[in-house]
A and B are shown apart, each in its own frame.
Chain A
Amino acid sequence: MATATLPVTERENYLNKEYGIRSWLFTIDHKRIALLYLLSVTFFFFIGGLFALLIRLELLTPAGDLVQADTYNKLFTMHGMVMVFFFLIPVVPATLGNFLVPIMIGAKDLAFPRINLMSWYLYVIGGILIMHCMLTGGVDTGWTFYTPYSTAFTNTKIIEAGLAVFVAGFSSIFTGLNFIVTVHRMRAPGMTWGRLPLFIWANYATSIIMILGTPVVAITIILVAAERLFHLGIFDPKLGGDPLLFQHLFWFYSHPAVYIMILPSMGIISEIITCFSRKRIFGYKFVALSSVAIAVLGFLVWAHHMFVAGMSVYAALIFSFLSYMVAVPSAIKVFNWTATMYKGSISYTTPMLYAFGFLGLFTIGGLTGLFLASLGIDVHVTDTYFVVAHFHYIMVGGVLMGYLGGMHFWWPKISGRMYPEGWGRLAALIVFIGFNLTFFPQFILGYVGMPRRYWQYSPEFQVLNVLSTAGSTILGVGYLLPMIYFLWSMRYGKQAPDNPWNAAGLEWKTSSPPTTFNFDETPVVDFEAYDYENIKDTDDDGGAH
């Protein structure tokens, strides 16, 4: 048999068990579905990134000289929609989450493997719909779809875009449902709630938001469509509706959606920092429960997007207060991660560099959130580049640093190959520098008063815009590098051992890559999470010097 001639490491695994397109398109293996998601979200990251580069190029000069105003408006709309709904929301749960949630708790698969495959198909259908929408004209409302502009004024493809988001929304509802049931019902013997890896806690909290929040945006899309198609007066004051009602409904989902994006990345950071500090996490309970606190409190702060929208001052007062409260669990996490490093044995691997980057960028993103939650300051900086900078620090600085860190950390497990460590560190550095150069000037730009979504701008804003555009090209290189060397490593990379980092966690106790059912026999868990005290760091090299 052919397999007999292969080296020992080429034993049967989920990748080589079956070949052919059908074995992928009809797979119900959570690991293969994770890879299908990986391909699709990477595709949309490219599309969204391309839009971003065009936006930055247009803003190189104050005049609107690269594209027409309408084209520019479509670019930032499609950038936002693609990045939010087709990249940031699914990126960690559907790829790393899908791959790791069952393995980390010692299960053979998710609770509903077929629903898992269906959720990928729904994502793909949503993706095809959004591509169709973009290729036949696109949308120009901003990803926020504010009414009555979206229901009564624009003549772009609102219904098509809404349908795409609606369908993709069900994909995330199913993923959330699957994770919740899996974590409740399929933990291996001994895997108590207090022993769950924090990545699982983070994905669990995320899933709660997904299944509670996503239906609201689905309903909102239906209402927008009803007003646009049948002139039912819901949001348009001319028909007796209320435009602020739309904003309440939209942000009721779209604010928690930010936590859908960031929580899983926070989970990744907990895994990476413990592993490369050789330490148990500092304050396990606080880090775990702060994820749940963020998920719950995150539902109560939506109207902080509306302080100048014409809302009552007393409502604004309450939402401002609650926004400060939701900042507390995030602060707790940052302090605990930092404390975890204390008296550790720290190696500067690529995943750890991304974790450092995450701590820096998330701290800045979080702290600038305090400015926006402050009512008096928000009046001046909302709808300016200050907001743009703030949420990119969270959603790109935070989410993507976590995601890339996680991809490097688990790449040996996923692919069975090592990535080139030197290139990895270089790329992490380039991403960090490029990111800050792109987005830090935007804070200043915002406070000086440049509104967002501007195709042309006043000449005095140009210097900061040039810096930002320059940074974006560096950032682009930083994101391209990992894609190239990950692909390269699949053929030429060093064979990965089962546990290249000497890491704790069940995923490292199975083979790299794992077999289809993850474990030969169901593991029994008789150790706490991050049991680094009892795991010897045998390989002193690890590529980390």
Chain B
Amino acid sequence: MVYNFPLWPDRASAMAGNVDALYIFLLVVSGLMSALIFTLVLVFAARFRKRPGHEAEQIEGSLPLELTWSIIPMGVFLVVFVWGAVLYFQERTPPQGAMEVYVVAKQWMWKLEHPEGQREINSLHVPVGRDVKLIMTSQDVIHSFYVPAFRIKQDVLPGRYTVAWFRATRPGTYHLFCAEYCGTQHSLMGGEVVVMEPSQYAAWLSGGNSGQPLTVTGQRLFAELGCSTCHRSDTQGRGPNLVGVFGRQVLLEDGRTLTADENYLRESIVSPGSKVVSGFKPIMPTFQGMVSDEQLNALVAYVKSLSQPASKSVAAAGTQPQTQQVQ
């Protein structure tokens, strides 16, 4: 092409086709609806134009017609609503066993860290065909992780994790944009997502100077910060034993239960007093300001890894994540 101006975005994720399908359906529906209205307006305007010998004929209204044009649109709306909701639930539910990439956004860059310890700035390398879960937080204001070719977008907030996922289906280089206005260089806070064949990705991972795997960094911090003195791997610690905690239901001191997800682990480090586990005292000091967002990610990744062997062994007994990997 001499001049490149696309009228449709690249379609490079498992989700993209589904989103496009609903979009095209909506284009057709609204095209028909506008065509109907425009035609009626134009035809009436021409056919019933003011001219000598022609008089308006008064019509009060019609209940059957009112009901028709209330109920039919409502029916169409309901179809679109359900269809859109199904897509949204898929977009917002990362599959089990996805490769986890931690994302830290700041004015005005994206910092990404692979589970193997590889760090990147403003670019993300991923293998084609693999589920990738992004666990994201911001160091300052709200940003938004947007890859048009994948049809995904998720705001990235300070002080908590938000999650997005995708499965790239076509190798190539795609835009990464910040979609939530974040200050002076908002429009420059972008980069690229590079989708590679798995073999190339493996080569990319082993090349360059990768750091330690995230969980190893986390384990080192866990010891250095003294977490391990209370959170012991037996029942003798002053804090809860963290082995197998992630993903489990936790009973709190105030009687509530919640699922220990990434956000709960994070909150328990920076604000340990807010949701204390039943049977323990609120004696843990806060680590707010003592650990960076990257260190928090490593700690969370490490605590999550303490639950991995258990779930892996369950998985080995023939449940989904394993079979998916075989494919």
Mark A residues whose CB is within 8 Å of B: 64, 69-70, 73, 140-142, 144, 146, 148-149, 152-154, 236-238, 243-244, 277-286, 307-310, 313, 316-317, 320-321, 324-325, 327-328, 331-332, 334-336, 338-339, 341-348, 356, 359-360, 363-364, 367-368, 370-371, 373-380, 382-384, 444, 447-449, 451-464, 532-533, 537, 540, 544
Contacts and interface: CB of A to CB of B under 8 A. Distances in A.
A146 B17 CA distance: 32
B66 to A, nearest CB: 5
Contacts of B52: 540
A140 B155 CA distance: 20
A460 B4 contact: yes
A144 B181 CA distance: 10
Contacts of A325: 74, 77
Contact of B58 (A237, A279, A376, A544): A279
B195 interface: no
Contacts of B57: 343
16 contacts: A73-B186, A237-B157, A324-B81, A336-B66, A343-B57, A345-B51, A345-B56, A363-B33, A363-B38, A367-B30, A371-B30, A374-B26, A448-B6, A452-B181, A461-B5, A537-B50
A309 B153 CA distance: 9
B258 to A, nearest CB: 13
Contacts of B81: 320-321, 324, 373-374
A544 B52 CA distance: 13
A393 B65 CA distance: 27
A451 B146 contact: yes
B181 A453 contact: yes
A310 B84 contact: no
B267 to A, nearest CB: 11
A198 to B, nearest CB: 13
B61 A153 contact: no
Interface of B: 3-9, 18-19, 22-23, 26, 29-30, 33-34, 37-38, 40-41, 44-45, 48-52, 54-62, 65-66, 69-70, 73-74, 77-78, 80-81, 83-92, 107, 140-142, 144, 146, 148-149, 151-155, 157-160, 162, 175, 177-188
A444 B23 CA distance: 12
B56 A279 contact: yes
Nearest to A284: B61
B187 A454 contact: yes
Nearest to B52: A540
A280 B58 contact: yes
A454 B175 CA distance: 14
Nearest to A154: B183
A432 to B, nearest CB: 13
A382 B187 CA distance: 16
Contact of B179 (A336, A368, A384, A532): A384
B184 A313 contact: no
Contact of B44 (A70, A341, A347): A341
A364 B34 contact: yes
A235 to B, nearest CB: 11
A370 B177 contact: no
Contact of A370 (B45, B55, B80, B87): B80
Q: Which 10 A-B pairs have the closest CB atoms?
A: A449-B148, A376-B87, A237-B159, A374-B84, A375-B88, A367-B30, A283-B61, A454-B187, A278-B56, A324-B77
Nearest to A454: B187
B30 A463 contact: no
B37 A363 contact: yes
Contacts of A374: 22, 26, 80-81, 83-84
Contacts of B140: 148, 153
Contact of A368 (B8, B30, B49, B88): B30
Nearest to B289: A238
B88 A342 contact: no
Contact of A376 (B22, B38, B177): B22
A516 B279 CA distance: 78
A344 B56 contact: yes
A457 B141 contact: no
A133 B7 CA distance: 40
B69 A347 contact: no
B121 to A, nearest CB: 19
A444 B77 contact: no
A38 B86 CA distance: 48
B194 to A, nearest CB: 16
A341 B180 contact: no
A69 B185 contact: yes
Contact of B5 (A238, A243, A464): A464
Contacts of B154: 308, 310, 379
Contacts of B159: 237-238, 243
A279 B91 CA distance: 50
A447 B140 CA distance: 28
Contact of B48 (A70, A144, A343): A343
Contacts of B65: 283, 335, 339
Contacts of B77: 324-325, 327-328, 370
A207 to B, nearest CB: 26
